[in-house]
């Protein structure tokens, strides 16, 4: 922010650590001209946009990583593992391993690439998990909420008959 007296107030917060910093730049001795102050404000705005873009990229990467590890943990749970065929478990495990390896090799990928990778992984995992749910008559106890991940419709959506499924939290 810049006030009418030419005083520039800049604050920043590191969301991960909660550290906050604030600096006030005053023009006590005529050190900064209006043009210099304007340039500083424009640079601050420019970096703000860069920071937003980086934030989106980090969130997309974390989303893929979280989904991959959640799937790995899910298929390793006893109740879930007992209901999956070894072929399905291997298919999910292989897809998760490939995704994690891709993430490690592509740290600087763009948001769209991370989103595409997550959709690919969901495309492999969601049908298997959905098939398991339908075969078991619902989610086993202790099963983590998959949060409607991917574009998979909830069980019973668009159903033309069959049993009525009621979701309970």
The answer to whether 165 and 155 are in contact (CB under 8 A) is yes
Per-residue pLDDT band at 154 (split at 50, 70, 90): very low
CA distance 123 to 46: 37
pLDDT at 7: 78
CA distance 141 to 120: 27
Lowest-pLDDT range of 10-24, 112-126, 154-168: 154-168
pLDDT at 16: 77
pLDDT, greater one: 22 or 4: 22
Q: What is the tens place of the pLDDT at every residue in 112-150?
A: 999 999 999 999 999 998 988 887 655 444 444 454 444
pLDDT at 161: 53
Q: What is the tens place of the pLDDT at every residue in 96-111?
A: 999 999 999 998 899 9
Q: What is the CA radius of gyration of the chain?
A: 25
Which pTM does this prediction carry?
Answer: 0.58
pLDDT at 63: 95
Lowest-pLDDT range of 4-18, 44-58, 147-161: 147-161
Q: What is the tens place of the pLDDT at every residue in 28-65?
A: 666 677 888 889 888 888 888 888 889 999 999 999 99
pLDDT at 137: 58
pLDDT at 27: 64
Which domains are present in the chain? 8-52 (no CATH), 56-136 (1.20.1270.10)
Q: What token pair was written down for 60?
A: 């997309």
């Amino acid at each position: 922010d810049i006030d009418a007296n030419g005083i520039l107030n800049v604050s920043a917060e590191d969301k991960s650590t909660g550290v906050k910093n604030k600096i006030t730049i005053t023009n006590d001795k005529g050190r900064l001209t209006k043009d210099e102050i304007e340039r500083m404000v424009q640079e601050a705005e420019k970096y703000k946009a860069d920071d937003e873009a980086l934030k989106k990229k980090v969130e997309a990467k974390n989303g893929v990583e979280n989904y991959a590890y959640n799937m790995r943990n899910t298929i390793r749970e006893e109740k879930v593992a007992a209901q999956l065929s070894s072929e399905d478990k291997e298919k999910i495990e292989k897809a998760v391993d490939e995704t994690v390896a891709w993430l490690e090799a592509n740290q600087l990928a763009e948001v769209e690439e991370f989103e595409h990778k997550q959709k690919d992984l969901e495309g492999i995992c969601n049908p298997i998990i959905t098939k398991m749910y339908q075969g078991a008559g619902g989610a086993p106890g202790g099963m983590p909420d998959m949060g409607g991940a991917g574009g998979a419709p909830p069980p019973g959506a668009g159903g033309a008959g069959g049993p009525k499924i009621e979701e309970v939290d």
